[in-house]
Amino acid sequence: MRNYKIASLIMIIHGGFMEVGGAFCYMLAMVFGSDIFDIGKYFSFKLPYFQDNLNMMIIIGAIYGAVRTVGAIGLLKNKMWGFMLSVINCIITMALMMFLLPAGILDGVFASSALILMLTQYYGNKEIVCK
């Protein structure tokens, strides 16, 4: 159970601070003027389509952050749906982390470490048995 608690705390930090916090900071920048604050200087997507639609990508990041936080809270309460939602979210994050650099590196560290903790707790010392 200890690994689940640590994994859920990592995902709450990841979802709450990185994704949702980044979106709130961006919204504040939009309110005070986007001409002063150019988000493209700090985040660069490797695909031009994503870079051209950075506003939408930040909103999508906020949705990912909210779903990640909900899954982490479910995992923290020992719910199986929280475990499955968290595993799915970590796998998707690991697949998409290469498109957003340099923040994708930290996404990968958080998602990979949480996934490893969840899977080692779930499977424990079970071995692969070949018949």
Where do the structural domains in the chain lie, given as residue ranges? 2-122
pLDDT one-digit tens code per residue, 18-50: 766 766 767 776 676 655 555 556 556 666 777
Using DSSP, state whether 60 is helix, strand or coil.
helix
The count of other CB atoms within 10 Å of the CB of residue 5 is 14
**Contact partners, residue 77, CB within 8 Å, separation at least 6:** none
Tell me the pLDDT tens digit for each residue of 87-98. Answer: 999 999 899 888
Res. 69: pLDDT tops 70 = yes
